A and B are shown apart, each in its own frame.
Chain A
């Protein structure tokens, strides 16, 4: 199985500041078709997870452009610019390259 490792476990951010979350995969997520199959999700308190970023750097529909994704074949970063109160929750990275699909352990974002 592809292991997805996230860091940090939690992050505390002042509103208006930026935050970055890292995710590392145990295997390259770059397919021969040139697509990198890493995704980012946010689970807000009391809600189901929602898609933020797909295929490493594409913003999902309706997601503010304060969110951005970047990375290489095995190291990925989610950046949140100008953090707002509505960004609080648990962030997960995940891969859709292979079965079984796997997820990172989650990063909890809180406000200072």
Chain B
């Protein structure tokens, strides 16, 4: 699976959009971009994933650049409860099935009141 690079930490004001960048310059054509977040002492929470197209769900939007070498997770109206570590993960789709996710250090997003 391709390696990802994320900023160590970011701040965002409550009510504003939080934009979390991720670089994955070595991503290959069949690899998906996944985002998870982990609030202290809880299990990681799945947020969203995509292959090529931009994706949106009730939690967030995922914008993937045309060359697929980077992506941005957007939380449209951040609340204090969005304070967490956010992980960007690239995951292969190798034939025959899935494997473990490779978690890096992630971005510690702090929402300021």
User: Bound pair: A and B?
Assistant: no
Task: Give the A-binding residues of B (Cβ under 8 A).
Answer: none
